[in-house]
Structure formats: structure tokens, C-alpha cells
């Protein structure tokens, strides 16, 4: 495990980073906040919101300037995910998957022609999605049944992907399929599949507990032809692309859970100062004060872990263990803080008129997607025990 020495506290942001975070947070509060309840009810983004998110620039953070991107850092992407998550973690998923998985995969493994084709679109109007999971391939991510069969000029893909975030909005899918099931993970290959490709269709949208405005759908591949030029990386190297991008993506989920906890805490603190019982605000009672203090302490610890993992990634240092720890701990903190937020709201926290219950519902997914908590513990144990 890396143990870097930091001259300044990990949570101290540069002036540029602070201004960026503040601008995204303001956008989230003003442009997303008024629609949170309706989007959760209707299970879709508010009309026009996606265009405003692109206009803000948060879908192009790490895309090079030559492709109309911001040429920012991975840490900038993490800040954007955190800021949006304070208001609506469901919208943050869209930004997270697009940046930490799709854009990063294209930056590292895309050919110059692929980058030229896709980066300007991903920066301006095209959402990316990441299609790895299947019914029998969850934590065992490489037990894939989706087949890639060589065909004249490319490949044909057949199979079904499940739980694909951004599927409804996406214009580009990174699809993982196996060229040779007998080869195990060595047969896994990644493909760039454009929306509208013959044989590709988006199936049923899941009716979820939380992050309901985020589209999570089945992806159906029925003889879907993919030109050879759309192969991402080398044949049989899809497992490497998946593993390494998911390692980075876990930091993004950590940021999402961090922002969720911050948002829930903010609502709980404001309510505690306004709600009066026995002649005074409930924030005057020591039990409530201690609860808010404990929550704040855990949020700060999660922030340190998430920021540390992101800084390590940007510095080109090992970050596998730190990323797993950040996701594990931030998801635990988010669930605890969101639950305590409901309790501080009391009866009001149990109804949908107040924001507390949505944060609680949204928090649960943090322990599940992009690697369950048990998978994070297995990764951490392997690294710290040298197994």
C-alpha cells in the first residue's frame, strides 16, 4: 500500500479546485435541486437537464482540449461527482460512469482514430455507458456469456447485459464479450458499440429502490455487427480494461457516497436547528449534537480517503488498495449518515415530503455496484496480507 507524504491536508483544495467545486455545487442546487422529487417519481431526468449538464462541461473534464474537452484531472471529475451527489446522487451516476469508466477507457486504450471520432461527441452531446454485467456475471465479472464471433470486416455480438447505467441516454456503449469461453478471462474483449447499431436494443428499465432518475436497463445484442475498427484494445485484453477502469471507477462511487452523506448531513443539521420540541430547537439537545458530530467526523474521514485515492491516481502512484478502502468506507458512511438523517427528521423523515428518505434509499446501492463491499474487503485483504 502506498503511504505518500502530503505537505498539505488532503482535503485542502487549490483555489482553482475550490472554484470548480463551488460552480458545480451551485449548478446542482439551482438546476437539479428543483427537479429531484419529480425525477425520482418519474424515474427519468428532467427535460433539458442533460443538455445543461453537457453545457456545464462536467462530461468533458478529462477529455483533451484538442477534442473540445477541459483537459482536467481525475480529481476534478471526483469533485464534480461529489458536488452533484450532495443534491441528487442519481444524476451524479450519469456523470460518474461517463467520466471514470467510458472516457478513461478511451483515453487509455482508444486508438487515435477512435478518440478523434468519439471524444468531441462525448464532450458535447453523447453519453457513454459501460456494459459488463450479466445475469450470471456480477461479482464474478468475467463469467460472461455474451459472445463475440468473428465476421467479415468485424465481429457479431450476441447476448444480454443487465443493470447497465446510462443505458437509456447513452449514444456509445463499451461492451464486453468473450471470443472464446474456454479461454476464461483471456477471451474477454471490449468493443465500442454505437447506439442504433443493427442488432443492438435497450430493453426493460429496472424499477429501483434508489437513484431512480438514473436509467438502469437491459442491453440486448442480437447478431449486433461491430466493425473491426471498433475493437477497444487488443482481442482477449478486455479483462485488463475492465479491471483497471473499475479500479478508478470505485473512487468515483466513493465520491458519490461522500457527496450523498454531505447532502444528508446538511439537511439534518438545518432541520435540527428549525425543529422545536420542549421549547427549544432539537439541536440544543446533546443527543442530537453528538449524532451530528459523529456524522460529521465520519464524513471527514471518508473525504480524506476518497481524495487520497484520487490524488494517488493522478500522481501515477499505486492506488488499488486506497480505492477499495475509499469505496468501502464511503458507502458505509453514506448509509449510516442517511439513516441517522431520517431519525433526526423523526416522523417527517419517513415520508416523501422531506429529502431524508431519498438519501436513505439512494445510499444502499453504494455497497453493491462497481464491486460489492465483500469484493472490496477481498481486494483489501489480498493487498495488505500479501496474498
Rounded to whole angstroms, the Cα distance separating 298 from 57 reads 31
Q: How far is CA 130 from CA 93, 167, 180, 230, 334, in A?
A: 12, 9, 21, 15, 24
Question: Residue 41: which residues within 8 A CB-CB, separation 6 or more?
Answer: 212
Rounded to whole angstroms, the Cα distance separating 165 from 182 reads 29
Question: Residue 39: which residues within 8 A CB-CB, separation 6 or more?
Answer: 45, 46, 88, 90, 91, 212, 213
C-alpha cell at 34: 428543483
Inter-residue contact 158 to 129 (CB < 8 Å): no
Question: Residue 373: which residues within 8 A CB-CB, separation 6 or more?
Answer: 328, 331, 332, 367
Residues annotated as catalytic (active site), given as ranges:
370
Rounded to whole angstroms, the Cα distance separating 196 from 179 reads 23
Phi then psi for 319, rounded to 5 degrees? -140, 5
CA angle 251, 87, 79 (to 5 degrees): 35
Amino acid at each position: 500500500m502506498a503511504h505518500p507524504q502530503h505537505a498539505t491536508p488532503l482535503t485542502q483544495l487549490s483555489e482553482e479546485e475550490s472554484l470548480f467545486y463551488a460552480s458545480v455545487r451551485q449548478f446542482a442546487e439551482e438546476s437539479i435541486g428543483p427537479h429531484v422529487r419529480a425525477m425520482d417519481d418519474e424515474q427519468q431526468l428532467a427535460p433539458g437537464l442533460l443538455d445543461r449538464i453537457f453545457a456545464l462541461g462536467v462530461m468533458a473534464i478529462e477529455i483533451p482540449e484538442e477534442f473540445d474537452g477541459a483537459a482536467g484531472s481525475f480529481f476534478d471529475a471526483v469533485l464534480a461527482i461529489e458536488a452533484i451527489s450532495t443534491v441528487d446522487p442519481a444524476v451524479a451516476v450519469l456523470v460518474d460512469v461517463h467520466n471514470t469508466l467510458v472516457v478513461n477507457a478511451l483515453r487509455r486504450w482508444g486508438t487515435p482514430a477512435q478518440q478523434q471520432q468519439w471524444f468531441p461527441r462525448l464532450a458535447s452531446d453523447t453519453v457513454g455507458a459501460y456494459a459488463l454485467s450479466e445475469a450470471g456475471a456480477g461479482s464474478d465479472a468475467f463469467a460472461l456469456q455474451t459472445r463475440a464471433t468473428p465476421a467479415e470486416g468485424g465481429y457479431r455480438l450476441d447476448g444480454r447485459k443487465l443493470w447497465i447505467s446510462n443505458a437509456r441516454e447513452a449514444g456509445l456503449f463499451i461492451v464486453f464479450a468473450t471470443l472464446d469461453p474456454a479461454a476464461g478471462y483471456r477471451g474477454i474483449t471490449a468493443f465500442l458499440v454505437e447506439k442504433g447499431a443493427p442488432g443492438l436494443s435497450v430493453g426493460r428499465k429496472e424499477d429501483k429502490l434508489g437513484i431512480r432518475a438514473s436509467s438502469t436497463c437491459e442491453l440486448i445484442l442480437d447478431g449486433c455487427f461491430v466493425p473491426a475498427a471498433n475493437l477497444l484494445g487488443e482481442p482477449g485484453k478486455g479483462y485488463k480494461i475492465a479491471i483497471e477502469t473499475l479500479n478508478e471507477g470505485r473512487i468515483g462511487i466513493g465520491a458519490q457516497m461522500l457527496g450523498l452523506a454531505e447532502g444528508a448531513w446538511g439537511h439534518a443539521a438545518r432541520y435540527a436547528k428549525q425543529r422545536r420540541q420542549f421549547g427549544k430547537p432539537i439541536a440544543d439537545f446533546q443527543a442530537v449534537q453528538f449524532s451530528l458530530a459523529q456524522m460529521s467526523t465520519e464524513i471527514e474521514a471518508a473525504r480524506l480517503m476518497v481524495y487520497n485515492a484520487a490524488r494517488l491516481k493522478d500522481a501515477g502512484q499505486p492506488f488499488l488498495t486506497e480505492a477499495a478502502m475509499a469505496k468501502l468506507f464511503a458507502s458505509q458512511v453514506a448509509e449510516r449518515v442517511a439513516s441517522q438523517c431520517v431519525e433526526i427528521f423523526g416522523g417527517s423523515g419517513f415520508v416523501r415530503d422531506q429529502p431524508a428518505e431519498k438519501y436513505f434509499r439512494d445510499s444502499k446501492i453504494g455497497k453493491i455496484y462497481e464491486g460489492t463491499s465483500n469484493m472490496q474487503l477481498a481486494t483489501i485483504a489480498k493487498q495488505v496480507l500479501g496474498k
